[in-house]
Copies of this chain bind each other. A is one copy, B any other.
């Protein structure tokens, strides 16, 4: 289980390759990449975070995923700072014996990371800058992981 928080770009393909490489202990590897989307006129995105808390929150989310599903490994990389359209913001990867677990754990990581890890996106475009608003759908997505 590894968590990385960094300003530098990372190579999504190389990370996927290394993560899946020779993994005869798992049968299923799922990865997700979040990419800066250009919905029209986006010049750049700035990602602010809360150093210290970010790492703790991501570690906790990854530990929780490992507790809930029989994961052989799990990886979270999240960038902060300035990013251009098409750049990779973050990724998660999970490895499990069976695909349903690998998929569920990756979706769980994404849902929690979206609403519980201290990152904030600001978009800069032709019309100025604006903080991205949290989506109700993201908060609601957490409901499906309730263990009650």
Contacts and interface: CB of A to CB of B under 8 A. Distances in A.
A22 B86 contact: yes
A97 B37 contact: yes
Given A13-B18, A103-B106, A32 B35 contact: no
A27 interface: yes
Interface in A1-50: 11-18, 20-38
A99 interface: yes
Closest 5 CB pairs of A and B: A13-B17, A27-B37, A24-B86, A24-B85, A16-B16
9 contacts: A11-B17, A12-B29, A16-B31, A23-B86, A26-B35, A27-B36, A28-B34, A99-B107, A103-B103
Interface of A: 11-18, 20-38, 85-86, 88, 97, 99-100, 102-103, 106-107, 110, 141
